[in-house]
Structure 1
Amino acid sequence: MQQRNQYRSIEDFLADDSFKAWVLTGYDPDRWEVWAVENPQRAALVEEARNWWLAMQVPDTQPSTEVTSAALQDTWQKIWQAEEAAVVPLWRWWRSVAALLLLGGGLSLAWYLYNKTSRTPGISYSDLVEEVASPMLERTNETDRPVLISLSDGSSVLLQPDSKLSYPANFVDDERRVFLSGEGFFEISKNPDQPFLVYANEVVTKVVDTSFRVKAYADQPDIEVVVRTGKVNVSSNSAAGTSHEGDVLLLPNQGIRINRESLAFEKIDDLTQENQISQKLSNIERLSFEFSDVPVAQIFRTIEQAYLVEIDFPIEKLRNCYLTTSLNDEPLAQKLKIICTSLGPNASYQIEGNVITVTAEGCN
């Protein structure tokens, strides 16, 4: 049962048979009640998951026709008896019942909305974007696959479905600032004089050059930052009202999980030991970009798998072209530039959405 210490969402609890048995039958050999009260934050999530199970509970079998008829007959008999004994007409009795049902439903809905809104942190994507004075571009991924976004400084973002990114057409300030709602994998171009900041709800991730992933959906209680290369500093947004003491430095293969309500920081020193994260790493986080005497066509296939893009290149002209290079710390645009430079002065590339076109006459 140690795995339940890793539960972070209602879905985790709903998928646990032992938890279901405890909620529906009261049978508790795994001591769910004791485990829940050990941590106030955990107890709140357990209670919400418990309420979901109770709300979803329906009878496993339908009653027989005979049982249904007998129940209806008994109900009508009670109504007739009440009508004869009461001064209030039957239509008023029904109105009273309806009022009680509406009142009960309204109270339940109000309680549900209160719980949801009381647990929703105060900083949202729209709040952050509205505070920016300069014009911003916004990209929303409404597809079922990641979308590649190329920024003016050569950085790139692989934006996941149901996610948004706001960014300037050109970075002209002392800092390169973007705003994320959802999940995105960032590869940042090198510029020590102009640090790159990702604002995601209550958290700010600051880098100079590196690759990392930020996961910050509006309807989820936690924010995650995972580093692939380089290093980043993660801190709470001062607008959140409560600041975490100091920045948290993350190195490659490290991450952090931040609770949006309490702003509690949980640093993960080794992602390979964190199954919840390591099992969900995308291709771009798993694949290596270290190449030693590798065909250029194979390098292009690796890029296609990592970024989920399509690369159109002259296969026959590049059939005998091989390359030795390290592209791990480079954003996509720089990767393509290095490859084209190695092929010769006539090689070039163009990015249009998720399609990349490479033009080349061969290789040096």
Structure 2
Amino acid sequence: MKAPFISPVLLEKYLLDQCNDQEKEEVEAWYAAIKGDADHLEKLSETEKSSIRESTFESIKGELNILDESPARPFPWRWISGIAASVAIAAGLYFNYPIRKEQPVSIIEEIQQKKKSDIVQFVNTESRIVTHMLPDSSSIIMHPEASVTYPARFDADRRIVTFSGEGFFDITKDKTRPFLIQSGEMVIKVLGTSFNVKAASAQKVFQVDVLTGSVEVTAPGTKKKPQQLVLKPKQQAIFEIESKRLTARQITIQPRKEIYEPVTVVFEEAPLNKVIEQLEKRFNVNIRLSNPATATCSVTANFESQPFTVILEMLCTTLEANYTISGNTILLNGTPCE
């Protein structure tokens, strides 16, 4: 008779209360099955029992990659002690059962392990900002060259994606399924919120700016000690790639807003050059016209609590124009109005 195998990754999920119902049943069935063989310990002395439990407990801690000095959330150690004792029983009964070591995988690796047909990868190859929708109706306003990879269908217990570049995330609330984003070594965890991520692979610094809700940012530190920050609205996380330094700071109020921040602005038969002047005062952008003759085109519009990306798209629709973006510079391409 062989002892049932239980994945350390699954044990860790159970201890963090991240298992779905099926996974919980699997862990509890395993624990009950091993616990039923407790008679074996009666043959051992108290010293032997203590030694076995201590060594097994340390083994499980190692399997689960638990660091005593880590500031991560506390584990129910009494429950783990019960598991350790049960595993010690199994070790005594099935001493030649092969021990399989599993290291927790990253989100990148977890997605890569899925079938190619079950993975979606989207890259914004255009020279304008594009909105990409995810399976749960969350959206990402992606800058040129930004890319996102995710399962075609999110799991029942969580939503995972990898992201590179710059993008504004608006995450659909779902308390039963945390949303996790991995950019390089940085991981962002949210339940439902909106925030901007700057994490181009060529950059030396990754940045997360929270607009609404809250996010948890985790990154590796020196000596493999994890760092973790919780950000609230108007707060920013900076992760320095080379030094592994993760810091948080308050976003200072600027005279001009970032393009993802909403504003209310009204134009009543205003010439396009005056519209551009107002938008440049409101947002951290520079707008140029490919054809100066379009400057006299008249614009009437009421934008209520809208970010620059939406205003720009609606403006282009009204003028039958298009645009390209490079950094904070927008080139508006249109024909003169009659």
TM-score by length of 1: 0.42
Please identify which structure carries the higher helix content. Answer: 1
Q: Greater CA radius of gyration, 1 or 2? A: 1
TM-score by length of 2: 0.45
Please identify which structure carries the higher strand content. Answer: 2
